[in-house]
Amino acid sequence: MIRPMRRQDLPEILRIEKQIFTAPWNERAYREELENNPFAQLLVYEQDGRICGSCDLWILYEQAQIATLGVRPECQRQGIGQCLLSEMLRRAEAAGCETCSLEVRPSNAPALALYEKNGFIKAAVRKAYYSDNHEDAWLMIRPLGGKQDDSTAGTGNQL
Ligand SMILES: CC(C)(COP(=O)(O)OP(=O)(O)OC[C@H]1O[C@@H](n2cnc3c(N)ncnc32)[C@H](O)[C@@H]1OP(=O)(O)O)[C@@H](O)C(=O)NCCC(=O)NCCS
């Protein structure tokens, strides 16, 4: 079941963060998202009372951005990441967003495969984006809804 994240979820979320990210968000970052970011929609995937994954979607007027997505190691490869991503795309589309974007490490093959499978394309490189190892990020983007004018799509350089 996918439901909104609550403050009481944070200890568990933070434990999972440390297992799956080299630069995990801390409690302050999550509380800021939960309590002070009016654009953020934080969701968890819960199974038998246990949090298996979570994500954070920003709805920024006509643009949506995936701020984070993660699945507990022992729950990976069971369709949960796909489920959370589909729910974020559904919400972004329902909110009338025209695009959804995200940043991902070029070294993160599982995430790249997931995003490419879901129609995201590499749009640009953000140089030295990650503070822990100064790795570049791919900016990936996916059109949503029916608002985009096809005649103007794809005129930029394909990286
Ligand atoms: C990326 C991540 C969220 C995927 O979650 P998941 O629940 O394991 O993914 P799913 O089981 O829903 O898989 C969906 C698709 O993702 C891709 N994928 C997921 N894990 C993969 C892996 N280890 N290797 C290659 N492709 C993978 C596949 O395309 C897969 O489709 P398939 O099963 O038909 O091959 C998960 O690996 C994770 O939490 N990683 C650590 C945190 C992270 O990197 N988050 C993304 C930051 S941008």
**Domains identified in the chain and CATH numbers:** 2-148 (3.40.630.30)
Q: Which tens digit of pLDDT belongs to each residue from 23-41? A: 999 999 999 999 999 999 9
Query: What single DSSP character describes residue 128?
Result: T
Which of 17, 30, 33, 115 is catalytic? The answer is 115
Residue 28 CA to residue 135 CA, distance in Å, equals 24
**pLDDT, position 95:** 96
Nearest Cα residue to 59 out of 154, 126, 145: 145
- pLDDT over threshold 60, residue 150: no
18 lines ligand 1 (CB under 6 A): no
Nearest Cα residue to 40 out of 30, 51, 50, 25: 30
Q: Which tens digit of pLDDT belongs to each residue from 71-123? A: 999 999 999 999 999 999 999 999 999 999 999 999 999 999 999 999 999 99
- With H, G, I as helix, E, B as strand and everything else as coil, classify residue 149: coil
Q: Which residue has the higher pLDDT, 43 or 158?
A: 43
CA angle 99, 93, 23 (to 5 degrees): 60
For residue 5, give the amino acid letter: M
- With H, G, I as helix, E, B as strand and everything else as coil, classify residue 88: helix
78 lines ligand 1 (CB under 6 A): yes
**pLDDT, position 147:** 54
Residue 130: active-site member: no
E-only strand ranges, the chain: 2-4, 40-47, 50-60, 63-71, 99-104, 121-126, 137-143
Nearest Cα residue to 80 out of 70, 91, 90, 93: 70
Residue 52 CA to residue 44 CA, distance in Å, equals 8
**pLDDT, position 145:** 84
Which atom of ligand 1 is found nearest the CA of 103? 48
Instruction: Calculate how far, in angstroms, residue 78's C-alpha sits from the geometric centre of ligand 1.
Output: 9
- Run of H or E including 36: none
Residue 103: active-site member: yes
52 lines ligand 1 (CB under 6 A): no
Cβ neighbors of 129 (< 8 A, separation 6 or more) are 103, 135, 136, 137
Which of 87, 93, 103, 135 is catalytic? The answer is 103
